[in-house]
Structure 1
Amino acid sequence: MIHKIPYSRREYHTKIWSFLWDEDIIFQVKAYIREHKWDITSQILMAQMNKIILLGLRFAPSLTIHLNTARNYLKEFGYTYVKVKKGTYIDRHKREDVIAYRKIFLKQMDKLENRMPIFSEDNLEEVI
């Protein structure tokens, strides 16, 4: 059986049927979103619905959704568009001024090492 969208005979303010009213479609769309939750976009969802979900449920081949509709469906399911920002790591340990300061720091630590207490690992008591 091929599903067809109900036809409305009203001229103005027509009630439009939504694919989200069909439980089978909702189930398959949510399952697909769960599988691809880190890389889902409205364009990917639109392609999946048009090529696989709607044809798999035997909707008429001419029934497809638009990119804006896929975006609205994602909003309906609680997804929002955000740009993923990754932290930037910059290795500044090899700068010339850092290397020069490290040499000075290590010399000072060598001089002060004999003044530092030494603790045992077992009970953290000071070892002389």
Structure 2
Amino acid sequence: MSFHTILLVQPTNGANRTYSDFETIAATLDHVASLFEQKLQRENPRSGQIQYRAEDLFRFIDSYKEFVALVFDQTTQAYLPRDKEWIKDRLLAHFSQQNSAPSKHHNQSQQRQQQNNRSQSGRRW
């Protein structure tokens, strides 16, 4: 079952806010992980690998002023707000289901292949 989800993020107290929408919660969670991976790549451009643990990803989420998922509920026909803790819980479950916790060792060619796979299948890892 898929649940349309809107991800709202605001890095600081400023007026800079963004939103993204996804057809599934899983796609939203993949996007959250990719936001963090992009940050790691910017901070370590010469690194051929990206390594992180769930705690690192959670600190990234906590560093945002706002990080909220609005998940469509078919029963009420409304979007229900979900906070950072809900997102973190879902990330753990999501990566556990894929038999791959968010502790990754990627080289750049693997990342390109995964991006290609993601664009074809809508899933990562």
Confirm or deny a common fold (TM above 0.5).
Answer: no
Return the structure number with greater strand share: 2
Larger radius of gyration: 1
Q: TM-score, normalised by structure 1?
A: 0.26
What's the TM-score, normalizing by structure 2? Answer: 0.27
